[in-house]
Chain A
Amino acid sequence: MHLLEGEKVTKYFGGLAAVSEVDFYVDEGEILGLIGPNGAGKTTLFNLISAALEPKPGVIKFRDEQINGLRPYKICRLGIARTFQTVKIFGNLPVIENVRVGSLFGPLKGLSTAEATKVALELLEFVGLSKVAYTPARDMTLVNQKRLEVARALATKPTLLLLDELMAGLNQTELLDTMELVKQIQKKGITIIMIEHVMKAIMGICDRIIVLHHGKKIADGTPEEVANSKKVIEVYLGEASDAGS
């Protein structure tokens, strides 16, 4: 049994198939990378999994139970959390309150307020934001806002975490730190699907990669298989000399 499985998942925007008959799965404990050119349908696929959108047609199953058609908060409580490509933090609330929203409302069984605060502080420590716990979230740098989104998502006690371009716009040091953070999350026993353009990160930490192009899946395999696939090089990676830069 796969943890998450999609069968012929499709989504049209008007006449355009943003995601077209994509079959995918992720197994427990894996880090699955989702790559492809801009407009390939990666974020749309995330939106379909997290129920911001509904696939038509297509089926998405979580632990063998159909989850498409549910509302976003239900998906979250089932154990699928996400971050956003353009950060969507609660800017005017202090950092710690952002995370407490997650721990108070995200888990299937709600925590007491004291427990929620404790969990929030631990997670801020985990992502390295303890020092700014009481700063309004909007005052932080982009890197820290992205880390805050990760902490908020983790606070909902997910089994599956969807990371949408967590590494975009980071400098070299931040990139390495963030890659380390993702590995740490995997060590907690959380399965991860990540959308990323930074090849170094993708090739470095993913167990498996799916490549989308014009809404269709064009490759699915280990980083080596994908990096050597003719089709992938043609539409996305470019010549071998460019890949991995």
Chain B
Amino acid sequence: MNFSSINWKRAAMQPGIPVLLLILVALAPLYGSGYIVTLFTYFILYMVLSVSWTIFSGSTGYISLASAAFYGVGIYAAAMFGERMPFIFVILIGGIASFILAFIVGAITLRLRGIYFAMFTFGLVVLMKEVIHYWEITIEGTRGHFVIYQSNETIFYYLLGIFIVTMIVAYIIRKSRYGLALASIGENEEAAGHTGINVTMVKVITFAISAVFMGAAGAVMATKFTYIDPGVAFNPMMSFSPALMAIFGGMGSIYGPVVGAVFFSYLQEWLMTGSLKNYYMLIFGAILVLTIIYLPSGITGLIQNLWRRIRGARSAPTRG
């Protein structure tokens, strides 16, 4: 862990294999079937959600279950503005609206710790759903909205773009002095405050930044659904999944949430289309329990440990 000194040369060389994979994925619409493109779209969606979830929750240890609220705000941004504006602006609005919501919610709730913060953030999802539902029924006299259609390829590439930006931002935050501040808040918030860190500000801003990508992803995905209502937009699973994926993948490395997202979205796809359909949630839960008990640093943590053991003790983990 070497904060606040980005070695750009190393940063450019290091992700050789991931960049190759990224290019392979990016070319999917050229060689893959429509099914592959859709499958990859969901992979990337969950990658965006779990990486951005990790930006805030991974380092500070505040478990946020508000992801679905920010994602849903993005979806509704697309429903409201999709017909009037170019797609890219709609995505920006989705991101900015989520940023503002997260900023306000963060400023109010980030003094809560542990389970109380998790509960409140989850309450936000339910609240958003009910308020918009009420608004639609009583004021607009409708239920749900239509969203302007975009082709599968467009959705795929916009989402891929959001993913790349998310990864770059997550990397920069992790390596910067800002990342060091977040890590020290996660380690001991009180000491961090007495060491000159404006704890509240750092937490609220990071929470809001992580929400931007969720909102942007929501705005893109909405065009895939074509019709949305509060139940679709504020689906609680979109809060739980990113957290579970990040925990499973491991939050010690930037690739952990990515690995977790791919694994779980593929598992979901495989189980939901096969004969094990009814057991999906059961298996999901069992894997999570086993991960927390036996792999507290996730799959990537396990791989890193094995790798160190193979390479011997010369490069001790403390020097990393």
> Contact residues of A with B, CB < 8 Å?
50, 52, 71-73, 75-77, 81-82, 84, 88-94, 97-98, 100-102, 104-107, 113-114, 116-117, 134-136, 152-153, 156
Q: What does the 1/0 interface line of B32-62 toward A look like (CB < 8 Å)?
A: 0000000000000000000000000000000
Q: Is the CB of A113 within 8 A of B187?
A: no
A104 CB to closest chain B CB, in angstroms? Answer: 5
Can you name 8 A-B pairs with beta carbons within 8 Å? A73-B198, A77-B196, A89-B188, A91-B187, A92-B187, A105-B195, A113-B4, A116-B4
Complexed CA–CA distance, A234 and B269 (Å): 76
Closest CB in chain B relative to A88 CB, distance in Å: 4
Are B196 and A93 closer than 8 Å at their CB atoms? no
- Which residue of A52, A97, A152 contacts B190 across the interface (Cβ within 8 Å)? A52
Q: CB within 8 Å of A: which of B175-206?
A: 177, 180-181, 183-184, 187-188, 190-200
Query: Taking the complex as formed, is B275 at the interface, i.e. its CB lies under 8 A from any CB of chain A?
Result: no
Across the interface, A156 reaches (CB within 8 A) one of B4, B188, B196, B319, namely B196
Q: Are A93 and B184 in contact (CB under 8 A)?
A: yes
Q: In the bound complex, how far is the Cα of B198 from the Cα of A98, in angstroms?
A: 16
Which residues of B approach A to under 8 Å, CB–CB? Answer: 1, 3-5, 177, 180-181, 183-184, 187-188, 190-200, 318-319
Please, which residues of chain B bring their CB within 8 A of the CB of A114? 5
Closest CB-CB distance, A184 to chain B, in whole Å?
A: 21
- A69 CB to closest chain B CB, in angstroms? 15
Query: How many angstroms from the CA of A81 to the CA of B198 in the assembled complex?
Result: 15
* Number of cross-chain contacts by CB at 8 Å: 97
Q: Find chain A residues with CB under 8 A from B187 CB.
A: 89-93
Compute how far the CA of A101 lies from the CA of B192 in the bound complex, rounded to whole angstroms: 8
B5 and A113 contact, CB distance less than 8 A: yes
B184 contacts A90, C-beta separation under 8 Å: yes
Please give the distance in Å from A179's CB to the nearest CB on chain B: 24
Tell me how far the C-beta of B214 lies from the nearest C-beta in chain A, rounded to whole angstroms: 27
Which of A72, A90, A113 is the one whose CB lies under 8 Å from B194? A72
Contacts of B196 in A (CB 8 A): 73, 76-77, 101-102, 105-107, 156
Q: Please name all residues of chain B whose beta carbon is closer than 8 Å to the beta carbon of A91 when the two chains form the complex.
A: 187-188
Add 13 more A-B contacts to A76-B196, A97-B180, A104-B181 (CB < 8 A). A52-B190, A72-B190, A73-B196, A73-B198, A89-B188, A90-B187, A93-B180, A97-B3, A100-B4, A101-B180, A105-B196, A116-B177, A153-B195
Q: Pick the most buried of B1, B184, B193, B195: most chain A CB atoms within 10 A of its CB.
A: B195
In Å, the complex CA distance between A234 and B318 comes to 51
B199 in contact with A73 (CB, 8 Å): yes
Given contacts A52-B190, A88-B191, contact A101 B1 (CB under 8 A): no
A73 vs B318: C-alpha distance in the bound complex, in angstroms?
A: 29
Cross-chain contact B191 with A90 (CB below 8 angstroms): yes
Cβ contacts under 8 Å, B191 to chain A: 84, 88-90, 152
Q: Is the CB of B194 within 8 A of A100?
A: no
- CB nearest neighbor in A for B181: A105
Q: In the complex the two chains form, is A101's CB within 8 Å of B188's CB? A: no
Report the Cα distance A116→B180, complex, angstroms.
Answer: 12
In the complex, the chain A residue whose C-beta lies closest to that of B183 is A93
Contact A106 B195 (CB under 8 A): yes
